[in-house]
Amino acid sequence: MRASLALAAILAVAFVASAAPAGNVVLKATLKGKYLRTTSTGSGTAAMTFTASKVCWKFTYKGLDQPGDSGIHIVPPPSPGKHKTSVFPFTAATSKAPGCVAKTHWGSHGAAWADKIVADPSHFYVIIATKKYPQGAIGGVLHRP
């Protein structure tokens, strides 16, 4: 009887998993200098879409000098002026134009990090660095909308 119940439970889980849509996952972040403990008065938003094969982003921001690097980091942010290595970098020339890269653009580890980010977005934050704030001018924690 127990074996039958266990088998039924396993089959039910397998059915639900196979029936679940693969779909895109959208994550967002509100970006502020305060989050990174900088004096930057800039602000913005980040929207990321994760698909089975790529990661796309769209930044909006204002009040920044020349934007530079952007990427996703593990929380918490370091002290002001310090920089963590991105677990998923976007681009060295951040702009308001949308962009995409293959999940494997940064190697197989990039795809693994993308999957970890989707699984638990609150453990990651996004930054936009600028010429004046090369370690990050604005940043914010990722969340599901």
pLDDT tens readout for residues 2-53: 433 333 333 333 333 333 335 799 999 999 999 999 999 999 999 999 999 9
- Strand spans (E) along 16-84: 25-32, 43-50, 54-62, 67-74
pLDDT in tens, 47-93: 999 999 999 999 999 999 999 999 999 999 998 878 888 998 888 78
CB 73 within 8 A of CB 127: yes
pLDDT for the residue 83? 81
How high is the pLDDT of residue 18? 32
Task: Name the pTM for this structure.
Answer: 0.81
DSSP string across 49-63: EE-SSEEEEEEEEES
